[in-house]
């Protein structure tokens, strides 16, 4: 009888340990994926108006872009985003008179890797703009935490550089800044890195 009690006690103890471990993992996932951070912004470029918004929760969110010209709605774009949208800008980086929008997103977790969702708009159509992958020399020391902005006709990306042994919150290699221009490469609109500095 005593042996049975010991076995039951050990079993109950293991169940309690696994339950607590499961709760701990669940709790961490709640921290990594906040249930807020919806995004809303209205942009205007000449005759075009852009209403940009995202859903409020989840690791994969829905980005909605309502595009109007002279206040007449033209199109609604729905796009899944990895992480949450942090900002949006409009510009004409290739100077062809057609507006572009650049929407900056950040993934969840300690890295917060940046991503750009971009489009160029014409009177009756639009094209998606892709971003050239980082060249190997630009990925050296890269661990996310990107920021983006448009300045002087170029898109600028900036992130901290990590050295061996650096913790996620203490990069010691300074910052890397990359300048992008909008070009047509193999018949696709592409943000191409043209210059960088550490």
Architecture of domain 40-197: Beta Barrel (2.40)
- Residue 191 · residue 181 · CB < 8 Å: yes
The separation between the first and the last C-alpha atoms of the chain, rounded to the nearest angstrom, is 72
* DSSP per position, 157-185: EEEEBPPTT--TT---S-EEEEEEEEEEE
| Of 172, 179, 136, the residue nearest 155 (C-alpha) | 179
pLDDT in tens, 83-126: 889 999 999 999 999 999 999 999 887 778 999 999 999 888 89
pLDDT in tens, 30-70: 334 444 468 999 999 999 999 999 987 777 889 999 999 99
């Amino acid at each position: 009888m005593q042996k049975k009690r010991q076995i039951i006690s050990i079993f109950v103890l293991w169940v309690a340990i696994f339950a607590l471990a499961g709760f701990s993992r669940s709790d961490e996932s709640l921290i990594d994926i906040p249930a807020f951070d919806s995004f809303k912004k209205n942009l205007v470029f000449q005759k075009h108006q852009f209403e940009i918004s995202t859903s409020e929760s989840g690791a994969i969110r829905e980005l909605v872009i309502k595009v109007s010209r002279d206040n007449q709605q033209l199109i609604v774009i729905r796009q899944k985003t990895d992480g949450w949208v942090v900002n949006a800008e409009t510009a004409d980086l290739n100077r062809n008179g057609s507006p572009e929008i650049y929407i900056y997103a950040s993934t969840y977790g300690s890295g917060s890797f940046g991503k750009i969702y971009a489009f160029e708009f014409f009177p009756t159509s639009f094209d998606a703009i892709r971003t050239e992958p980082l060249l190997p020399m630009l990925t050296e020391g890269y661990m996310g935490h990107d920021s983006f902005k448009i300045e002087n006709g170029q898109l600028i990306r900036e992130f901290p550089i990590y050295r061996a042994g650096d913790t996620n919150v203490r990069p010691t290699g300074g910052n890397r800044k990359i300048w992008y221009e909008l070009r047509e490469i193999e018949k696709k609109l592409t943000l191409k890195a043209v210059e960088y500095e550490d």
